[in-house]
Every structure is written in structure tokens, then in C-alpha cells.
Amino acid sequence: METTSSQISVQSASPSKISGYLKLTKFRLGSLVVFSAIITYLTVAVEINWLTILALGLGGFLVTSAANGFNQIIEKDLDKLMNRTKERPMPTGVLSVTEAFVFCTICGITGTILLWIYTNPLSGILGFISIILYAVVYTPLKRVTPLSVFVGAFPGALPTLIGAVAATHGFGEIKFFAILLFLIQFIWQFPHFWALAWFNSDDYAKADFYLLPSKGGKDQASQFQILIYSVFLLLTSTLPFVFHFVGLISTGVCILCGLALLLQAYNFYRIPTDANAKKLFMVTLVYLPVVQLALMTKS
């Protein structure tokens, strides 16, 4: 059968499977997760092992890809309703549910094995737990309660803990410094994600996702909680200094970054526009890597 020029045009315009799988992984988000894990490894490790870093980066990315992909499988029908997600590979038909499920399963198993064998078993276990928490617990809760954000903050901060555990030997060990680093990223997610949820609230509402901390959505209670958690974040970032893990320079950078974030959170509290929520969101994106790099120096 002769292929018409219009058929060729449609085929060439269709997104490739490779592009679909890449979108399924949320590559940019996965890269940030890998960055957090590796920076934390470098912060905690006494001796640097490059094979461990490679396994941590690849294994962490695969585990994160699995969690993100399973999330999209579960929400495939809801993603069609929202502008920010309607171009994902399953709503557009680029990937089938079976293709996505097989891909995510392979990513999850491979990532867990890499972490288990080439870092330590506890890192592998934590990686697997992060998939379960994100896909099986957090994802369904998004339509049930605003507390889903609290639940989702655990898998969101686990890459930091995995990186710290990967720096230990034997089965793996969770040290107190690792808990403090985990806590910083855990608290950071609240102003970060709530700012995102604020300027996307109308879009989220199309899928019955109500992710702001107040049942009233975009109200003063939500504004206040964003501000309060920004204060908590500033205080939490000083704990490594309080417990003598880092010096004054690292702590000074953490405080300056925390004050910058808090200032924008206060501006948002005073004038709760979508524009100010977006500014706060952008500040949080800069905040985390700068603070993690400052803590890594321990100066």
C-alpha cells in the first residue's frame, strides 16, 4: 500500500517512544534527586568511592523514574484533565499502560539492585520504600486529604538519606548527621510544594487534587502555614551547626538563604498573588542546592 504524504507528516510529527519514556521518568526532577543524593554522600563520606557514586546516581535515578512512572500510570485519566499534565505520554497515547508498567518495573528493580549491591543493602531498601511511599501511599491520598503532602515529603526527602547511608559500610547505617540533612530537605518541601500548588490550584482542582494545607484552599490559613514552615526551615538549617557538624561559614550561607526564602514567603503572605507564589517557588529551587553545597564544605 502506498503511503501518502499526509500519513508521513502525521508519523513524523508523532512523539517518539524514546521521548515518551524520557517524559515518564520526569528527567529534570530525577536529576535534582540524584544531585541531592550525591551531594549528601560527599557531605557524609569519609572516603570517596567513585563506583559508589556512579551506582548511587544511576540507581537513584532509576528508582525515582519508577516512582514517577507508576504515579503517571495511576493518574493517567486524571492527567488528561490538567493543562500541566495532559501532554504526558499516556494521555497522548505515546505509551500504553503496559509499556509504561514494564518500563517502570524494570527501572525499580534495577535501581534497587544497583543501590543494594554497589552501595549497601540499607540504601537499596530505602530506595524501594521510596517507590512504595510515593506510588502506593502518596498518589492515592492526593484526592483524599491535604495531609498527602506530608506523606509525600518522606519519599521526597529519602534521596538525601539514601546518599548519606550509601557513605556507610556493611549493611548500612543511619547516622544523626544524616537525619539532620534529611530533616532539612523534608521541611523544605512544604513551602516549595505549597507555592507550586498555589499557582496551579485551579488546574489541580480539575482532577480533584486539593494540595494546599488548608481545606479552604487559597486562603489565609494556607498563606500562614507556608510562612510558618519557612521559619521552621530557617531554624532547621542551623541544626548541623548546633550539633557541631559544620562551621560558621556553612551556617552563615544557610541562614542567608533561609532569610531570603523567608522574606519571599512573607511577601507572599502579605500579597498572596500567583506571581508571588511563583517567585517563592523559584527561590526554593535555588535554596536547596546552595544550602546542600554549603553544608558539604562543612566550613
Domain ranges for the chain, please list them.
Answer: 18-174, 183-299
Q: Output the pLDDT for position 210.
A: 83
- Alpha-carbon distance 22 to 18, whole Å? 6
Intra-chain end-to-end CA distance of the chain, in Å: 71
Q: Report, as an integer, the average pLDDT of 20-27.
A: 92
The average pLDDT across 266-272 equals: 97
Dihedral angle of Cα 53, 58, 59, 64, to the nearest 10 degrees:
120
> In angstroms, rounded to a whole number, what is the distance separating the alpha carbons of residues 189 and 185?
6
CATH topology (fold) of 18-174: Tetracycline Repressor; domain 2 (1.10.357)
Residue-wise pLDDT for 161-184, tens only, equals 999 999 999 999 999 999 999 999
Residues in CB range of 51: below 8 A, 6 or more apart: 118
pLDDT of residue 88: 94
Q: 6 pLDDT exceeds 80?
A: no
pLDDT at 1 over 80: no
Residue 215 to residue 201: CA distance in whole angstroms? 12
Are the beta carbons of 167 and 46 closer than 8 angstroms? Answer: yes
Model pLDDT for residues 192-243, shown as the tens digit of each residue: 999 999 999 999 999 998 899 998 889 999 999 999 999 999 999 999 999 9
**% pLDDT > 70, the chain:** 95
pLDDT the model gives residue 10: 39
Mean pLDDT score of the chain, rounded to an integer?
A: 92
Q: How much is the average pLDDT of 44-51?
A: 94
The helices-and-strands tally (H runs, E runs) of the chain is 15, 0
Tell me the pLDDT tens digit for each residue of 276-291: 999 999 999 999 999 9
| Mean pLDDT (whole number) for 48-66 | 96
Q: What is the pLDDT of residues 87-122, one digit of tens each?
A: 999 999 999 999 999 999 999 999 999 999 999 999
Lookup: cell for 247 = 562551621
CB atoms within 10 A of CB 206: 14
